[in-house]
Amino acid sequence: MNRSFYRRIGESVLRETLPNGLQICVVPKAGYAKKYAFFATRYGGMDTRFRLDGKWLDTPAGIAHYLEHKMFDTKEGNALQSLAKNGAEPNAFTSNAMTGYYFSSTEHFEENLEILLSFVSIPYFTEESVAKEQGIIGQEIRMIEDDPDWQLYARMMRALYSRSTARIPIAGTVESISHITAETLYDCHKAFYTPSNMILTVVGDVDPIHIADIARRILPREGGPEIPRDYGPEPEAVAQRETSLAMEVSSPQFLTAFKCRASRDGEDYLRTSLLGGMACDILLGDSSPLYLRLYGEGLINASFGGDFEQLPGVALLYAGGDSKDAQTVAAEIQKEARRLAEGGIDEDFYQQVRRAAFGSSLRGLNSFENIAVSLTEGCFHGYDPFRFPQVFETISKEDIAAFLGENIAEERAVLSEIVPG
């Protein structure tokens, strides 16, 4: 395996790509009892349209999440129970662009790793079990649709995007999942659960050679073809400027979002992620002039916050919380972005935000899960996340001001509100 040592953060990563295309990353942690394995496929909620065996397939919204639920079924029973019996703590998640299966354990690690690799690579579905799962996931969907925070975000995404599959909820809808069959699940597994579309990351006091040997022994020898995907040709304009829904809430809530320009894969993806996060903190953070002024005027409270996200082919910056005058807050955010873009960013405040952002990235290395997920995302998008110290050095306050000027504009803005009713 090839070893890289990152002097500035004191971490090492051993990497190997197997003949079947599987990428393996091992982060050694000598002396730690806990070991963590993360096995992920570059397949998520946005991957509903793709080409398999020469044909374009349109699959139901929510199928990646549905497949994640069903993957724990085995001919022998349930892989979750097998891992738990061995002292492991297993789980899984589906995001817009990834499905990840993971566990942590202090003993029987290699045996648990064999179970993980086996059940994820060998699907077992029956029409009866698929139909039964529809009721379980349908109940999940109904519960989250009753959540005002979920409705705010989901309606915001539909307002931003008219064509991109970013507008589709990861879990789908009760109606969309009713069209999922065992055959469709097998098609999706065949397309995306191939070694060349997957990454195995292990963090802990392990033998990297043993890890690679287990993967070679258990996983298919063939990697699988590259699968073309269609996320939808998204126009520059937002789909809908405003959306409002009445729910049983005690006070009005809102999210305002901006349709940002997407970055390319490679180190530019990491740079944009860091830059967008710092821009968010400078514009909206709880020590920013805007936050302090709006808080002082009673237009926002401690619930206010924001974030920057990158998804396949799209990016967005959003902010929100409780407010009795969301329109004014949204307008003030745009006004402050223009002020920063035209007048520049205070040097002391920029340095303060930069130090905090760098410190947050460093603290992320304390979490085995965070290390594994960030390395996986880096592999999927063609960058090395452990190079963040060097990438931070390429970002100036002028870059952040330019980002705000380009992206935080009225024509790129939407407003999603939940009001009492």
Per-residue pLDDT at 126: 87
> Which two tokens mark 194?
């191939």
Question: Would residue 68 show up in a list of annotated catalytic residues for this protein?
Answer: yes
Report pTM.
0.95
Contacting residues for 207 by C-beta, under 8 A, at least 6 apart: none
The pLDDT value given to residue 179: 96
Interior angle at CA 108, CA 104 and CA 109, nearest 5: 45
What is the structure's pLDDT at 76? 84
Quote the pLDDT of residue 96: 98
- Contacts of residue 205, Cβ cutoff 8 Å, sequence gap at least 6: 28, 29, 30, 31, 32, 33, 35
Cβ partners under 8 Å of residue 368, min gap 6? 29, 34, 36, 104, 203, 204
Are the C-beta atoms of residues 318 and 284 closer than 8 Å to each other? no
Q: Residue 2 corresponds to which tokens in the numbers above?
A: 């090839």
pLDDT of residue 77: 83
Catalytic entry in 11, 16, 68, 234: 68
pLDDT digits (tens, 9 = 90+) for 169-194: 999 999 999 999 999 999 999 999 99
| DSSP at 102 | E
- Region class of 387: left (phi > 0), else alpha (psi between -120 and 50), else beta: alpha
Name the residue type at position 75: K
Residue 181: what pLDDT?
94
**Helix, strand and coil percent figures for the chain, each rounded to 5:** 45, 25, 30
Query: Residues with Cβ < 8 Å from 386, sequence gap 6 or more?
Result: 4, 6, 9, 11, 13, 375
Provide the phi-psi class of 307: left if phi over 0, else alpha when psi is between -120 and 50, else beta.
beta
3-class secondary structure, 221: coil
- In this prediction, the residues of the chain whose per-residue pLDDT falls under 50 are none
pLDDT of residue 290: 98
Domains and CATH numbers, the chain: 2-218 (3.30.830.10), 242-420 (3.30.830.10)
Degrees, nearest 5: CA angle 161-64-59: 70
